[in-house]
Amino acid sequence: MSNAMRTPAGAINVERYQGAVAEGRFRRLWNANAPGYLFLLPWLIGFFGLTLGPALISLYLSFTDFDMLQSPRWVGMANYVRIATADPKFSAAMHVTLTYVVFSVPFKLTFALLVAMALNRGLRGLTFYRAIFYLPSLLGGSVAIAVLWRQLFASDGLVNAALSQVGIEGPSWISHPNYSIYTLVALSVWQFGSPMIIFLAGLRQIPQDMYEAASLDGASKFRQFYKITLPLLTPVIFFNAVVQTIDAFKAFTPAFIISGGTGGPINSTLFYTLYLYQEAFGNFRMGYASALAWILVLIIAVFTAFSFLTSRYWVHYDD
């Protein structure tokens, strides 16, 4: 206790006392919190300067016409109205992206699960197989792989050379609007390695004695898969599905390289992000591109919310 408290109440003393308390409180607050905020400082600057600020500005820009030369001109909902009603390229991009998501994600997850189950048997050489299957996932995002893919599915490419050996004359996959998107689906499925590794980790969590008990009771392998593996794996399946779907919505590089940045032939590989890029950095319609970005966020958010809402009907957590 300080002396200030014991002195009879006089204006000066009280002020001094309150000042001392305030100063003490401030110092205590500072001492307690300063280290935390000092450590957070770089992140806080980044959060306000590079995330929150830009996100708010982007929301504002989405209601404007902005070509980077003149200052943004407010147009209200015009960008969104045009996206919804009068932009054939938007619907093309949406169609391409949804096709990609709907075909690539289920195939990728199925392969990932099948291979993970084949590997999860205490096989010799597990590390080797795991590495080989994971390698394409790690290399897959690079330009070199997209270049390679473009060659594989060219009319005189490797796939058609292989097909011709069994007497089939393959089409020109890359330059045919009906097939081009599926070459990109194939590229995505080829990279099933990282969901496979997550499945492997999940499979290892399933207690082995459940299978032993089931086979003692005479349950077939199929029944064991259906009644034990699948239900216990649903949290991992859910996780993989959400992550891969969000990723598929954001795909960019392969479509850009394979179509030479055009999204052709006839917009058949015009991924959503590619269209956004063209609008922003090709046509300098920054306001319109911002609206496109927010639509993408909305779609991803709706999809994620929907997944989480439905998940309680099929995802089992044991707690």
Partner 1 sequence: MTEMTASVTAARPPSDITKRSLPASLIIHALLIAASLLMVYPLLWMVSASVRPETEIFSSTSLIPSSIDFSSYARGWVGLDVSFGRFFWNSLVISLLVVAGNVIACSLTAFAFARLRFAGRNFWFAIMLGTLMIPYHVTLIPQYVLFLNLGWVNTILPLVVPKFLASDAFFIFLMVQFFRGIPRELDEAAMMDGCSAWRIYWKIMLPLSLPVLATAAIFSFIWTWDDFFGPLIYLNDMNTYTIQLGLRTFVDSTSASDWGGLFAMSTLTLVPVFFFFLFFQRLLIEGIATTGMKR
Q: Of residues 34-53, which lie at the interface with partner 1 (CB under 8 A)?
A: 35-37, 39-40, 42-47, 49-51, 53
Looking at the Cβ atoms of 15 and 212, the one nearer to partner 1 is 212
Q: How many residues does the chain have?
A: 319
The answer to the question of residue 213 lying near partner 1 (CB under 8 A) is no
The answer to the question of residue 305 lying near partner 1 (CB under 8 A) is no
**Neighbouring C-beta atoms of residue 51, cutoff 10 Å:** 11
Distance of closest approach, residue 95 Cβ to partner 1, in angstroms = 19
14, 26, 77, 125: which one contacts partner 1 (CB under 8 A)?
A: 125
User: Please, are residues 126 and 119 in contact by the beta-carbon 8 Å criterion?
Assistant: yes
Distance of closest approach, residue 300 Cβ to partner 1, in angstroms = 6
Looking at the Cβ atoms of 267 and 287, the one nearer to partner 1 is 287
The answer to the question of residue 137 lying near partner 1 (CB under 8 A) is yes
Q: Of residues 94-113, which lie at the interface with partner 1 (CB under 8 A)?
A: none
Distance of closest approach, residue 309 Cβ to partner 1, in angstroms = 16
Query: Hey, is 64 helix, strand or coil?
Result: strand
5, 14, 21, 68: which one contacts partner 1 (CB under 8 A)?
A: 68
Please provide residue 65's backbone torsions phi and psi, each rounded to the nearest 5 degrees: -100, 125
Q: Of residues 243-302, which lie at the interface with partner 1 (CB under 8 A)?
A: 243-244, 246-247, 250, 252-253, 256-257, 260, 273, 276-277, 280-281, 286, 289-290, 292-294, 296-297, 300
14, 21, 57, 77: which one contacts partner 1 (CB under 8 A)?
A: 57
The answer to the question of residue 136 lying near partner 1 (CB under 8 A) is yes
Own/partner pairs, 246-252, CB within 8 angstroms, 24+ separation: 246/300, 246/303, 246/304, 248/97, 248/100, 248/101, 248/104, 248/105, 248/188, 249/97, 249/101, 249/296, 249/299, 249/300, 249/303, 251/97, 251/100, 251/184, 251/188, 252/277
Which stretch in 10-18, 84-92, 196-204, 262-270 sits in contact with partner 1 by CB under 8 A? 196-204
**Cα(37)–Cα(16) distance, integer angstroms:** 30
**Neighbouring C-beta atoms of residue 195, cutoff 10 Å:** 25
Distance of closest approach, residue 195 Cβ to partner 1, in angstroms = 9
Looking at the Cβ atoms of 103 and 153, the one nearer to partner 1 is 153
**Cα(186)–Cα(254) distance, integer angstroms:** 11
The answer to the question of residue 310 lying near partner 1 (CB under 8 A) is no
Q: Of residues 148-177, which lie at the interface with partner 1 (CB under 8 A)?
A: 148-149, 151-152, 156-158, 161-162, 165
* Angle ∠(299,261,250) on CA atoms, nearest 5: 25
Q: Say how many residues touch partner 1, by CB under 8 A.
A: 97
The answer to the question of residue 65 lying near partner 1 (CB under 8 A) is no
Looking at the Cβ atoms of 55 and 266, the one nearer to partner 1 is 55
Q: Of residues 4-33, which lie at the interface with partner 1 (CB under 8 A)?
A: 29, 32-33
In this structure, the dihedral spanned by the alpha carbons of residues 120, 126, 128 and 129, taken in order and rounded to 10 degrees, is: -30
Single-letter code of the amino acid located at 54: P
Distance of closest approach, residue 166 Cβ to partner 1, in angstroms = 12
Looking at the Cβ atoms of 219 and 246, the one nearer to partner 1 is 246
Please provide residue 182's backbone torsions phi and psi, each rounded to the nearest 5 degrees: -75, -25
Helix 143-152 with 158-165: angle, nearest 10 deg: 30
